[in-house]
Structure 1
Amino acid sequence: MDPDHNVDSMPQDVPVGFERLLASFDWFNVEDWWNRWVSHGGVTLARHHWSAPVVDGWIAFVGLPLLSRVELALHQGECVVLGVSALPGCGKSTLCSWVKSASQHLGWPVEHLSLDDFYWPAEQLEKSMRGNPWSVPRALPGSHDIDGLVQSLATWKETGLITAPRFDKSLRNGRGDRCGSSSSRPKVVLIEGWFLGVSPLPSIETEILEGLSEHELAWRSRAVSLLADYQQVWTLLDDLWHLRAVRNDQSSRWKQQQLATLEHQSGVGYRSSDLADFNRMVLAALPPSWLRMLPLSSAVIDLTESRDVREIHVMDRQLSASSSSATG
């Protein structure tokens, strides 16, 4: 917790656009919204469930608003899929895991899935990634069982039960493999991924060609082609939040911090050359503008290099509350 901060008061430096984001949930008074969350613990809510160090501002301006969005979805009375997209290392998995834990604390039926959970089993995963110029073991379009993901969501919407595989990145000396599965009966499913919601956009020719080797160009073309298969998943999203880096290369430092945490927790580390290859893949595999402009996003949260919230943009697509107001 931030030193000398009164847990009953909102952190300072409220980002531009924050009030508009809350208004999209039918919370038109920031103080009322904040006091409501203080009654549930505020920035201390499920605090021990954060798997990495977190500052109060991240909880106040990202975590709690996402919980409010979950609550709005619960008021709809239907199965709702909320997406969170962000570059690797941003903290999206940690965020969504905390939202699930906080929701359980509040008695809300919420599940958290990642595109990563639907990586192919080891043999198929190796086949799908073989020969890529960055030598990454996963993460590219084509490394996921999209039909399996679509079927899991379809079965959930039909029966109320969602079953999904789980993927452990520490297995096979860090190459990863599936590790069991999970089943639950949520009303809201959070799903996250580093290129979740990415769709083809008109691109400047130099963006496609500049600085890429022939091998990289061939694999970018392959990734762009395979991205079409993912659009069927994007159409199932009822809402999409985009945690957007000011610059795409910020992901490199974030990923390094994330891997340091993984090594501390699991004992599995990355070689510096592997990390460099992964970071290069993030910058080269898809046109950078596609990762910055997600047509389906309703809320875009711009992040500084230190992962502070700089500004929030609420897009026209943002869903508003139903007749059952989130304010009760």
Structure 2
Amino acid sequence: MGPDPPAVPGIDPLLEEGFVHPLLAQLRTWQAEARSGTRRLPLIALNGPVGAGKSTLGRQLEALAPRFGLRLCVASIDDLYLSWPERGERLAGNPFGVSRVPPGSHDLPLLLEALAQWRHRGVLRLPRFDKSLAAGEGDRAGWRELACDALVLEGWLMGCRPLSEAALEAVMEGALLRTLRTGVAEPSAEQPLGRENGAPPLQREEWTWLPRWNHELEHYLPLWQACDGLWLLRPLHWGLPRRWRFQAEGRQRRSGGGWLAPADLAQLVRASLCSLPPALYQDPLSQELAPDGVWLGAGSAGLLTSRSGDRQETRAQRSGAAPQPHDPSFKPPTQAVAWLDGRRRCRSLWLQASLSPSSSATG
């Protein structure tokens, strides 16, 4: 076993040691199995809210990958947005007034075919999406081909599952009654979907569209089945993504970039938080954790490790939704969760036991 790779500038130390290195080590293991013919080329889904730093993390993963013997490509599901005319038709009349972001915005048949061809030929061919085109609505701008033997696909809704018909009906009956009375869906003990977890409460029209978004999410299930693992970036509360995204826009404008008016940007962020309310669609992903996982936190002497189930229970209780039992049959399985504070510093981590940092050094 060789020494740990040197730190990469710009990566939070806890996130690098407890998240980035284990992710690359997992891909290295799966890649070796793929070379031996015992599994398919590996694909990890990276889920994180808007502004969490997924693109930056992706560049850092690609920079570190050669040290793990990987030819890694990090792609965004946003590159698979439908063309501007198709999105305009698909999302017409939506309550956020947006032309991208919610479920149904993506060209899933194209993506699934691209993944199948990549696993057959080792070359990934994807469209490029330029957010500055179509007066800021965004549109396709050519194609790119990348030779790689491992892939990370990032996006804010990666791995999110639709609710069953019965579960959705129960949600709608409880929430719509309050919405019709007050105009705002307030949280309750039974439906903790509002301010208590930091997410914005849904307005009346947004609630009426929830079944539509839930139905659209069903079309993403074949994509989730194509993924081998799910890795999560999580805010300490769901009020942070809006702050993060506006901070990022400010940096882009100061550097000569940026193309969205504040009101338009606010609606894009809201679309990500209110088309799939986190308590229903995001929080369960970070609660269905294997019972033998490892918890990591920053300490004065480096990483602090704990295998106590108490921390998992406390985290789930604070998330604003009832904890779900671990389901090992769900694909892709949640393998790691990193919780980020307001400055996007990693405060704590959960990992599958087999992925602890001690087993993730380059060799």
After TM superposition, the score normalised by the length of structure 2 is 0.69
Query: Pick from 36, 59, 69: which aligns with 2:26?
Result: 69
Deviation digits for residues 274-308 of structure 1 (CA, Å, limit 9, x no counterpart): 22222322331113221122253111112222222
Deviation at 1:246?
1.8
What is aligned with 2:283? 292
What is aligned with 2:341? 304
Secondary structure at the counterpart of residue 192 of structure 1: strand
Give, in whole Å, the separation in 1 of the partners of 2:101 and 2:341.
24
Deviation digits for residues 302-327 of structure 1 (CA, Å, limit 9, x no counterpart): 222222222212258x779xxx9976
What is aligned with 2:107? 145
What is aligned with 1:216? 206
Deviation at 1:106?
6.5
What is aligned with 1:8? none
Give, in whole Å, the separation in 1 of the partners of 2:352 and 2:18.
17
Give, in whole Å, the separation in 2 of the partners of 1:66 and 1:315.
11
Give, in whole Å, the separation in 2 of the partners of 1:313 and 1:56.
15
Give, in whole Å, the separation in 2 of the partners of 1:288 and 1:207.
15
Q: Percent identity?
A: 30
Secondary structure at the counterpart of residue 141 of structure 1: coil
Is 1:43 aligned to 2:7, yes or no?
Answer: yes
- Could you list the runs of 5+ residues in structure 2 that have no partner in the other structure? 180-184, 186-200, 289-332
Deviation at 1:58?
4.1
Deviation digits for residues 54-85 of structure 1 (CA, Å, limit 9, x no counterpart): 54444344333333333333332341001110
Give, in whole Å, the separation in 2 of the partners of 1:167 and 1:293.
30
Distance 1:274 1:85, change over 3 A: same
Secondary structure at the counterpart of residue 212 of structure 1: coil
RMSD: 2.8
What is aligned with 2:240? 250
Secondary structure at the counterpart of residue 344 of structure 2: coil
Give, in whole Å, the separation in 1 of the partners of 2:254 and 2:99.
21
Deviation at 1:164?
0.7
Is 1:90 aligned to 2:52, yes or no?
Answer: yes
Secondary structure at the counterpart of residue 349 of structure 2: strand
Distance 1:226 1:246, change over 3 A: same
In structure 2, what residue type is equivalent to 1:310? Answer: R
Distance 1:117 1:315, change over 3 A: same
- The answer to whether the 8 A contact 1:207-1:287 is kept is no
Is 1:171 aligned to 2:145, yes or no?
Answer: no
In structure 1, what residue type is equivalent to 2:336? Answer: A
Distance 1:106 1:72, change over 3 A: closer
Is 1:236 aligned to 2:226, yes or no?
Answer: yes
Give, in whole Å, the separation in 1 of the partners of 2:55 and 2:72.
14
Give, in whole Å, the separation in 2 of the partners of 1:64 and 1:266.
33
Aligned residue pairs total: 281
Residues 226-235 or 162-171, more deviating: 162-171
Is 1:189 aligned to 2:180, yes or no?
Answer: no
Distance 1:105 1:298, change over 3 A: closer
Give, in whole Å, the separation in 1 of the partners of 2:352 and 2:14.
22
After TM superposition, the score normalised by the length of structure 1 is 0.76
What is aligned with 1:110? 72
- Could you list the runs of 5+ residues in structure 1 that have no partner in the other structure? 1-31, 48-52
Distance 1:55 1:241, change over 3 A: closer
Deviation at 1:214?
3.5
Secondary structure at the counterpart of residue 98 of structure 1: helix
Distance 1:257 1:325, change over 3 A: closer
